[in-house]
Amino acid sequence: MIIQQKGRAASWLERSVILLALLYLVSHTLPNAWKTLNTDFPNYYLSASLVHDGFDTARMYEWPWIEREKDHRAVSLRIIGLLPITPFSTLAMLPLAKLTPLEAKHAWILLSLAALIPIAWMLRSMTGLSYQRVVLVFALCFPMHRNLDFGQYYIVLLLLIVAACWAYLRGFDKAAGILVAVAAACKIFPILFLILFLRRRAWSALCAAIATGIVISIASVAIFGWNVHLTYLREIIPWTLHGEAMPPYLPSASISAILHRLFLSEPQWNPRPWHSSPLCFSLLMPTIQNLILAPAILLIHKQDSSESRILLEWSALLTAALTISTVPALYNFVLLAFPVCVLMAALLRARRGGWTLVLLGLYLAIGLPLPSTEKLVGPVEFLQYVRLPLMLLLVAGIYWLLCSGLFQGKNTKYKRIYAWAVVIVAATVCSIVGTFYREQSMREEFLYRLPLTQQGFLNGNPRSFAGEIRYIAFTYSGYRMISEDQRNTDASPSSLPDELSFTSNLDNSLHEQTLVEQSVSPHSLIVDKDARPQVIIQDARDPMLSADGQDLAFIRDNRGRGLLMMHSSFMQHGLSEIALAPPSLNVYEASFVSPVEYAFSATQDGSTPHIYITDEEHQNVQLDLGESRYPAISMDRRWMAYSHFEDGRWNLWLRNQKTGEKHRISNVPCNQIQPAWEEGSKSILYSTDCGRSLWFTAIARRQVVP
């Protein structure tokens, strides 16, 4: 039944709002979106382009690796990264991979606009709202403009979720399950709808979703390979759930970000929290999130199969998921068009015109890019981010409507509600304990951090030379090599291409020479830092000078696979290159001391990375170190530091090169990577993301040899 329009003045007001929104769309949003590549679309496009071109994508989540591939393709965007995008979600761009990035974005914008047509039809069919009022909801949705501007995914995701609900209401349970599985493969949180299927005992929908998820997983692994999925499952998802897949201390209308700023210290990003207490954070983070989500699960009422009840339950799960999201970008909230249409229809049927206006005002305010005041301090800080308290009001209103219907029925199974409540409480307690151990242990690493001047998002690849600390900093202007001592800081000009790696003489008695990788199209160049633009080697990355400064090793990529190469006496031109590892090995990184002494990490036939060491006959022997990367041989050749993967993190280990004995340097629930020895072979510099966000590392120093 279609809800009839009431009042000519109201109808003309609605049309005026729609007309203004349409004018803004065609005069501002579409022209801007059409002519520029913004922050999100190139992420999806580049991943699909790599697959289309047959590249090995095992390392596509690593920030410098994907930045290098972006530069090689001359994509006109300063910074790129894939976290926390799922591999499968990028496959939608595969048919567009033959186009240029901007042409592909044009096609995606048109597809997104076209998706609004079936969305409007299904929302009208389910809620009974007129087309005019459905379009009014679209018109009041500023996040929709941001989706089109950025080339984001959420209009397509809205289509999948709305279609899944429509299919479920029409009795097409298997189709509903398939659509939910596809939505969850694109953005993880729609997996919550499987709980709805379970609570309502919709076994056909649940089984169809699980089966589709298995098929999608097999297809995704077949296309992208196993290693990139291991990275996503073992590293990216856990950090995302903790709110640390992206920098967690930036101003953001998320519960996670506010609690991070209030209770967790970080020497560079949050040195003075309101009250430094990992315990308070650990108690509040899981508790608040589950208190918001729990009613959406507990209020699912199988005995009430009315369309209005089911629509409210879908709306509650979706709104709760957005409220507790750890990365709530503005464009995410285009998904609110679905629950707002449901609530608007319910209020109009109840003749609650005033509450309908309140709802639309709330919805408009949630979607506006309102600046925060950044003046409130302490627990009231969440009030300065208008979106979060408004989202709490919206989800509370949905719960109130669900409660008013739940207790009117006589067949409510309270025992089942209590059982689910026990499960949620147990999950909360486990999460509190795990979070406290994690956050408390991470802060032990702060004792080893270096107070560097350059506050990049990511400081990595540290090296020590003549009292200086040199490293690569990821900033708004790209990747830059930084040289820093107690008095001065020297950074490469921002006008230069990305500098993703470098090497300097290990022996301070030699004449200083620093070679830098400049990432340009169509491939990276190794240049002399002090004699730019002198190109030493073309099509090369990760330069490594030998201990005597005479030989240069480097890695050359072929469709995403690394080959370890060497130039002997590299300053003498015209010499041939020598391969130091067979093409069957995909080399990730290496430590080069001399042509007869080096180590490298590599994968073979899609396996996880292992460390190989060589002998005088260039026989590459795989060491029994388990899944390991980032080898670093000491200057006295006695030790090798490396990172070993265990329990979801990369921690530092040390190997005696003479005896083969190995022992753990540290045991922290975060990553320690890229070790580099300092003079004397007693201490190392390394990159650590402890207390920060995944792979957004800072520089630390440890003495590892007595």
Residue 473 has pLDDT above 70, yes or no: yes
Closest CA to 425 of 280, 287, 238: 287
Domain boundaries, the chain: 20-241, 242-447, 457-703
What is the mean pLDDT of the segment spanning 505-525? 81
Ranking 321-330, 379-388, 564-573, 576-585 by mean pLDDT, the lowest is 379-388
Reduced to 3 states (helix: H, G, I; strand: E, B; else coil), residue 485 is coil
**pLDDT, tens digit, 9 for 90 and up, residues 656-677:** 999 999 999 999 999 999 999 9
pLDDT confidence tier of residue 4, bands split at 50, 70 and 90:
low
Q: Please report which confidence band the pLDDT of residue 355 belongs to, taking 50, 70 and 90 as the band edges.
A: very high
The pLDDT value recorded for residue 44 is 94
Q: Is the peptide bond before 533 cis (omega within 30 degrees of 0)?
A: yes
Positive or negative, the CA dihedral 564, 565, 566, 571 is negative
Tens-digit pLDDT profile for residues 135-156: 999 999 999 999 999 999 999 9
Using 50, 70 and 90 to split pLDDT, how confident is the model at 435?
A: very high
CATH 3.40.50.1100 fits 457-703, yes or no: no
Percentage of the chain beyond pLDDT 90 is: 76
What does each C-alpha distance from 583 to 237, 587, 604 come to in angstroms? Answer: 32, 9, 10
**pLDDT for residue 531 is more than 80:** no
Report pLDDT digits (tens) over 679-690: 889 999 999 999
Phi, then psi, of 19 in degrees rounded to 5: -65, -45
Which residue, among 147, 131, 680, 64, has the nearest Cα to 369 in the 3D structure? 147
User: Residue 485's pLDDT is what?
Assistant: 83
- Predicted pLDDT of residue 573: 62
Cα separations in angstroms, 664 against 10, 155, 226, 656, 660: 71, 48, 27, 12, 13
pLDDT of res. 23: 96
633-648: average pLDDT: 95
Q: How high is the pLDDT of residue 509?
A: 52
Q: How many angstroms separate the CA atoms of 83 and 240, rounded? A: 9
Residues 684-705, mean pLDDT to the nearest whole number: 96
How confident is residue 511, by pLDDT bands cut at 50, 70 and 90?
Answer: low
pLDDT tens digits for range 68-108: 999 999 988 888 999 889 999 999 999 999 999 999 999 99
Distance CA 433, CA 352 (A): 45
Whether pTM exceeds 0.95: no
At 414 the pLDDT is: 67
> What is the pLDDT averaged over residues 226-243?
95
DSSP for 137-162, written as a single string = HHHT-HHHHHHHHHT-SHHHHHHHHH
Reported as a single tens digit per residue, the pLDDT across 238-262 is 999 999 999 999 888 899 999 999 9
Per-position DSSP letters for 378-391, written without gaps between them: SGGGGGGSTHHHHH
* pLDDT attached to residue 327: 86
| 536: confidence class by pLDDT, cuts 50, 70, 90 | confident
Percent of the chain scoring above 70 in pLDDT: 93
pLDDT of the residue at 221: 96
pLDDT digits (tens, 9 = 90+) for 34-80: 998 887 899 999 999 999 999 999 999 999 999 999 999 998 888 89
Q: Which pLDDT score is estimated for 302?
A: 87
Choice among 88-97, 288-297, 523-532, 556-565 with the minimum mean pLDDT: 523-532
Asked, as a colleague might, if the bond just before 379 is cis with ω within 30 of 0, I would say no
pLDDT category at 358 given cuts 50, 70, 90 is very high
What confidence score (pLDDT) does residue 371 get?
Answer: 66
Residue 538 predicted with pLDDT over 70: yes
pLDDT value for 575: 64
Confidence (pLDDT) at 405: 66
For residues 61 and 67, what is the distance between their CA atoms, to the nearest angstrom?
Answer: 10
Predicted pLDDT at 135: 96
- For 596-624, the pLDDT digits (tens) are 899 999 999 989 999 999 876 668 899 99
| Alpha-helix residue ranges (DSSP H) falling in 98-202 | 101-127, 131-139, 142-150, 154-169, 173-186, 193-199
Q: What is the mean pLDDT of the chain?
A: 91
